[in-house]
């Protein structure tokens, strides 16, 4: 009888460890999710390879095989608390979301080969470099790069009809991250 209790206790402990190991985060991965081009959503663990080759490595919550997804394969990703939109193969960190999104480029897909079966295709990606800021219109799917030379024109066209947002954009000098405030003003006035 004593050995049966020991066997039962060992089976119970093994079950607890097996369940814990199944939900344990793999080394180098973070909790996350992705939305594929066909609309399917996958939740599990993601390894960020954005700067390396504009991709993420995915492992499901229950474990299993590692799957690599390029930026062209997915619509969006969430790694920990950071949200990303994928546009033309590039990942953009969402700084501010709404009718207008304020984005920061996180990858460069240009020149990275992607495969359609055995045939390699080179994606042009988007303009700019990782770290550059953009305004993205969710209605007309237009991506506009912010630079010293374009900030006034982009603000005038993006914030058309919202004087408060245009005025706020005019106060932004070289610190383009501050344009987030103007985007938030525009989004709150256009609900």
CA-nearest of 146, 156, 155, 152 to 176 is: 146
Find residue 69's DSSP bridge partners. 56
Angle (nearest 5°) at CA 98 between 96 and 101? 50
Residue-wise pLDDT for 153-188, tens only, equals 999 999 999 999 999 999 998 889 999 999 999 999
Banded model confidence at residue 8, pLDDT cuts 50, 70, 90: very low
pLDDT at 44: 95
Q: Would you state the pLDDT for residue 134?
A: 97
Report how far residue 180's alpha carbon sits from residue 135's, in angstroms, rounded to the nearest whole number.
9
Question: Cβ contacts of residue 74 below 8 Å, gap of 6+?
Answer: 34, 35, 36, 37, 56, 86
0.85 exceeded by pTM = no
Please indicate whether residue 31 or residue 115 has the higher confidence score (pLDDT): 31
Q: Tens of pLDDT along 90-147?
A: 999 999 999 999 999 999 887 666 656 666 666 667 899 999 999 999 999 999 999 9
Tokens 């949200």 sit at which residue?
A: 83
Lowest-pLDDT range of 8-22, 27-41, 48-62, 145-159? 8-22
> For residue 118, how many other CB atoms are within 10 A of its CB?
5
Please write the tens of the pLDDT for every residue from 61-82: 888 899 999 998 999 999 999 9
Token look-up 């993601």 returns 46
Structure tokens at 178: 């501050």
- Beta-carbon neighbour count of residue 144 at 10 Å? 20
């Amino acid at each position: 009888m004593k050995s049966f209790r020991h066997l039962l206790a060992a089976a119970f402990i093994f079950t607890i460890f097996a369940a814990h190991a199944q939900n344990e985060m793999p080394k180098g991965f973070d909790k996350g999710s992705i939305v594929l081009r066909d609309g399917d959503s996958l939740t599990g663990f993601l390894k960020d390879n954005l700067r390396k080759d504009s991709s993420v490595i995915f492992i499901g919550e229950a474990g299993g095989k590692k799957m690599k997804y390029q930026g062209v394969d997915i619509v969006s990703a969430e790694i920990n608390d950071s949200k990303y939109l994928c546009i033309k193969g590039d990942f953009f960190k969402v700084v501010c979301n709404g009718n207008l999104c304020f984005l920061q480029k996180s990858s460069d897909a240009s020149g990275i080969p992607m495969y359609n079966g055995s045939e390699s295709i080179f994606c042009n990606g988007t303009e700019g470099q990782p770290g550059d800021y953009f305004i993205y219109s969710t209605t007309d799917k237009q991506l506009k790069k912010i630079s010293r030379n374009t900030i006034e024109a982009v603000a005038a066209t993006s914030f058309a009809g919202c004087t408060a947002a245009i005025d706020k954009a005019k106060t932004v000098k070289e610190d383009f991250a501050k344009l987030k405030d103007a985007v938030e003003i525009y989004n709150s006035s256009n609900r």
